[in-house]
Structure 1
Amino acid sequence: MEKQVSIIIPCYNDAKYIEQAVASALGQTNVKVEVIVVDDGSNEETKAVLKKLEPKISKLITQTNQGQSSARNTGVETASADFLLMLDSDDYFEASFCEKALKEFQKSSEVKMVTCQANLINEDGSQQLFNPEGGTVVNFMFKNCALGTSMFRKVDWEACGGYDESMRKGFEDWEFFIRLLKNGGSATVIPEALYTYRKRSDSTTNRANKVRFDILKYIYLKHKDIYIENYEATISNFLRQNEMLQVSVKNKDITVDAKIGKLLLSPLRFFKKLFK
Structure 2
Amino acid sequence: MKPKVSVIIPTYNRLPMVQEAVESVLAQDFEDFELIVVDDGSTDGTAEVIRKYGRRVRLIEHAHNRGVSAARNTGILHSRGKYIAFLDSDDLWVKGKLRIQVNFLDENPQYLLCYTDEIWIREGKRVNPMKRHSKYSGWIFEKCLPLCIISPSSAMMRRVLFQKVGLFDEALPVCEDYDFWLRVSVRFPIFFINKKLIIKRGGHPDQLSHRSWGNDRYRIIALEKLLSEYPLKEQEREMVLSEMKKKCQILSKGFLKRGNELEGRYYQEVMRRYGIEI
In the alignment, is the contact (CA less than 8 A) between 2:137 and 2:190 conserved in 1?
yes
Residue 183 of structure 2 corresponds to which residue in structure 1? 179
Q: TM-score, normalised by structure 1?
A: 0.81
Residue 51 of structure 2 corresponds to which residue in structure 1? 51
In the alignment, is the contact (CA less than 8 A) between 2:120 and 2:201 conserved in 1?
yes
1:33-85 residue CA offsets vs partner (Å, 9 max, x unmatched) = 1100111111143233222234432x111112111111111111111111000
Output aligned runs, 1:251-266, within 5 Å.
Answer: none
Output aligned runs, 1:114-133, within 5 Å.
Answer: 114-123=114-123, 125-129=125-129, 131-133=134-136
Q: Identity over aligned residues, as a percent?
A: 24
Q: Which runs of 5+ in 2 are unaligned?
A: none
Change over 3 Å in CA distance of 1:7–1:176 after alignment to 2: same
Change over 3 Å in CA distance of 1:235–1:122 after alignment to 2: same
In the alignment, is the contact (CA less than 8 A) between 1:112 and 1:181 conserved in 2?
no
Which of 158, 164, 167 matches 2:163?
158
Q: Which amino acid aligns with 1:160?
A: V
Q: Which amino acid aligns with 2:52?
A: K
Residue 201 of structure 1 corresponds to which residue in structure 2? 205
Residue 147 of structure 1 corresponds to which residue in structure 2? 151
CA RMSD of aligned residues (A): 3.4
Q: Which runs of 5+ in 1 are unaligned?
A: 250-255
Output aligned runs, 1:225-236, within 5 Å.
Answer: 229=234, 230-234=236-240, 236=242
Q: TM-score, normalised by structure 2?
A: 0.81
In the alignment, is the contact (CA less than 8 A) between 1:10 and 1:89 conserved in 2?
yes
Distance 1:102 1:52 in 2: 28
Q: Which amino acid aligns with 2:215?
A: R
How big is the shift at 1:180? 2.6
Distance 1:94 1:26 in 2: 11
3-state DSSP of counterpart to 1:198: strand
1:82-134 residue CA offsets vs partner (Å, 9 max, x unmatched) = 10001111211112111111232244343221111111111152432464334
Residue 82 of structure 1 corresponds to which residue in structure 2? 82
3-state DSSP of counterpart to 1:223: helix
Q: Does 1:113 align with 2:107?
A: no
Equivalent residues, number: 264
